[in-house]
């Protein structure tokens, strides 16, 4: 039996995942987490084979959480669940240590296929993104400047953070939720290898991105 931990902060979505897993006869749910910190604790305490990980959760999240989960000793594999279909999100997740990437609008059979394929040591990217294109992007030269890897939306958030705008202001101006903007900030910080907004400002000044 493939042992699975679900990490998602939405109760209804977790219930849906439970139902999908229950309908298969080769999976067993061994734990659930509603935030990144809880997931890391569970990974240390309860062995599992697959982690179904939502990129957008309270606390540590996004690419940072993928990296942290990968660093914990164990044979678990990570399948990212995300609302984002852009190639750059997929590439960053895979580079951070994810073994699969499934968009939340995928059919349930895509998730089942992902779990089974990843369990066998293979890479899985849902049909919403071309796996060939993803792998090609992953081979991009490491000399590429970090800000060129940002998605269009992440670059907008980057520019507004550097300009001194608060998360709430950015959310209002871009017509996004505060949680979504926070997720974009977490992801772009990881891509830029930065820890704070101050680091982003210094980078912008150094590369004349003001």
pTM of the model: 0.67
Q: Residue 142's pLDDT is what?
A: 53
Cβ contact 110:126 at 8 Å? yes
Instruction: Tell me the CATH architecture of domain 146-206.
Output: Orthogonal Bundle (1.10)
Q: Residue 143's pLDDT is what?
A: 57
pLDDT in tens, the chain (210 residues): 999 999 999 999 999 999 999 998 899 999 999 999 999 999 999 889 999 999 888 888 888 999 999 889 777 999 999 988 777 788 888 888 888 999 988 889 999 999 998 998 888 888 765 555 565 555 554 557 888 888 888 999 999 999 999 999 999 999 999 999 998 999 899 888 888 888 898 888 888 886
- Please give the structure tokens belonging to residue 59: 């606390």
Q: What is the signed CA dihedral for 95, 96, 99, 103, rounded to 10 degrees?
A: -90
> Could you tell me where in the chain the CATH 1.10.10.10 domains are found?
146-206
**For residue 140, what are the contacts with CB-CB under 8 A and spacing of at least 6?**
149
> Could you tell me where in the chain the CATH 3.40.50.2300 domains are found?
2-138
Q: Residue 210's pLDDT is what?
A: 65
Q: Residue 96's pLDDT is what?
A: 84
Q: Residue 148's pLDDT is what?
A: 85
The total of other beta-carbon atoms located within 10 Å of residue 120's CB is 9
Q: Residue 80's pLDDT is what?
A: 95
Q: Residue 73's pLDDT is what?
A: 77
Q: Residue 178's pLDDT is what?
A: 93
Give the integer Cα–Cα distance in Å for 178 and 195.
19
* CATH classification (class only), 2-138: alpha beta
Q: How far is CA 132 from CA 107, 122, 143, 159, in A?
A: 21, 14, 22, 31
List the one residue out of 99, 105, 119 whose CA is nearest residue 26: 119
Q: Residue 139's pLDDT is what?
A: 54
Which helix (H) or strand (E) covers residue 50, if one does?
A: strand 50-54
Residue 49 backbone phi and psi in degrees, to 5: -100, -35
Cβ contact 160:150 at 8 Å? no
Task: Tell me the H-state helices in the chain.
Answer: 11-22, 36-45, 62-71, 87-96, 108-119, 131-138, 152-162, 167-174, 178-191, 197-206
Q: Residue 151's pLDDT is what?
A: 87
């Amino acid at each position: 039996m493939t042992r699975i931990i679900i990490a998602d902060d939405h109760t209804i979505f977790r219930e849906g995942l439970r139902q999908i897993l229950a309908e298969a006869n080769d999976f067993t749910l061994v734990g659930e987490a509603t935030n990144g910190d809880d997931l890391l604790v569970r990974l240390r305490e309860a062995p599992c084979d697959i982690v179904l990980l939502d990129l957008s959760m309270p606390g540590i999240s996004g690419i940072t959480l993928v990296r942290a989960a990968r660093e914990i000793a164990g044979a678990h594999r990570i399948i990212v669940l995300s609302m984002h279909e852009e190639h750059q999100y997929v590439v960053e997740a895979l580079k951070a240590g994810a073994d699969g990437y499934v968009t939340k609008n995928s059919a349930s059979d895509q998730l089942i296929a992902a779990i089974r394929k990843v369990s066998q040591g293979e890479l899985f990217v849902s049909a919403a993104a071309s796996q060939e294109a993803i792998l090609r992007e992953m081979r991009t030269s490491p000399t590429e400047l970090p800000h060129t890897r940002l998605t269009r939306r992440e670059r907008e958030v980057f520019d507004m953070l550097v300009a001194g705008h608060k998360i709430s202001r950015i959310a209002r101006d871009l017509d996004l939720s505060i949680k979504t903007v926070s997720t974009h900030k977490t992801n772009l910080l990881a891509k830029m290898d930065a820890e704070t907004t101050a680091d982003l400002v210094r980078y912008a000044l150094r590369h004349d991105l003001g």
